[in-house]
Every structure is written in structure tokens, then in C-alpha cells.
Amino acid sequence: MLLSKTIDQKFNDLRTILKNKSRDSIKMDAHGGNTILFVYPPNEENFYLSRMKKDYPEAYYIDLSKIFIKYIDLIGYENFIEVYEEYKSEPEKLFKSESSTQDLYNLILDEIKKATGKNKMAIIVRAGILYGTGIENISIMEESTVFQMKLPLIIMYPASISEENKLKFLNCRRASGYRAITI
């Protein structure tokens, strides 16, 4: 069951999980996953991000908005606009292509691998950028790279809790907390 908590309660919960739970215990609580969804109201993202950086300054921050810009720069803005128009009804073909290693999805995975290589806790920020790309947070959670990480992947997750006690990504899309511990 999801409950509304204060920012201090959420950060205390995160600290407790990271300090006291073993890797196996995290995976058991996360239904076999190795991810923590750190939920916060989308309109308070900057506040939560500042607090996360203050509490975990040594973490490896993966800013999806910067990766998105890098992706557009790689293929060129004009080319991006042209291809986006062609695939806007099937955005996953543009952002998560099975035939390309230079898509947005693989750029994200590359950053997760860099964090692992540096033995740092990876924290994904600005996850709202994924909305409309066809890339689901659950896809990232289920990657073998994430399963093999020594430390859990933390996704700062802009969402709300509906009246039915369901998680809603960006307050508008039903989300899956499966394969993750939700704070």
C-alpha cells in the first residue's frame, strides 16, 4: 500500500534501506528487481533533487534530460524532427530501436554501466523526460545491467498517488512499481 509521506520520512526510509538491507533483501522486497522508485510530486522535482544531491553527493547522477539532448545532438536536430514526424505514433521505434545502439534507451543504459564501472550508486533524475518516448521505467528496471549492480538503481520518480491508491507517473499515467521498492 502506498502512503503519502513527508520528504524527511522518505529520505529516512531511503537511508534505512540503503544502510540496513542486503542486496538479496532488496531484491526480495523489489520482486526480484534491484531498483528503488523514489516517488515525489512532479511540481516539487527541483526541491527533491536538491535534497537528494545534498544527502548523496557521491552518487552517480544520470540526468535523462541531458541524455535526451545528447541523443538529439547525435542524430541532428533537423533529422530528429523529420524522423519524429514519421514515427510519432510509434515513438519506441525512434527512442528504443532494436536495430540501433545509438538510441536514447542505449544511451541511458551506457550511463548506468558507467556508474557500475565506478562502483557508485546510480540515481536517475528527470525521469519525466521518458513520457511519450515509448520507453518505460519498467524496461530499465528489468535490464540485466540493473539486476547485476551491487547497489540498487534509484529512480527519482515524479508521480502522485491516486484515490485508488495507485501510482500515477507525472500525475497522468498509471505506473508500475513492480520490480522496485517504492518510497
User: d(Cα 59, Cα 120) in Å, to the nearest integer?
Assistant: 6
Residues 6+ apart with CB under 8 A from 54: none
Burial bucket for residue 88 (CB in 10 Å: 0-12, 13-18, 19+): exposed
- pLDDT score recorded for residue 43: 93
The 10s digit of each residue's pLDDT in 22-43 is: 888 998 999 889 999 999 999 9
Residue 30 vs residue 161, higher pLDDT: 30
The torsion angles phi and psi of 182, rounded to 5 degrees, stand at -105, 125
User: d(Cα 182, Cα 90) in Å, to the nearest integer?
Assistant: 29
User: What are the structural domain ranges in the chain?
Assistant: 7-63+109-182
User: d(Cα 54, Cα 68) in Å, to the nearest integer?
Assistant: 25
The 10s digit of each residue's pLDDT in 113-124 is: 999 999 999 999
User: d(Cα 45, Cα 41) in Å, to the nearest integer?
Assistant: 7
| pTM for this entry | 0.90
Q: Which residues pair with 160 in a beta bridge?
A: 168
Residue 3 vs residue 66, higher pLDDT: 66
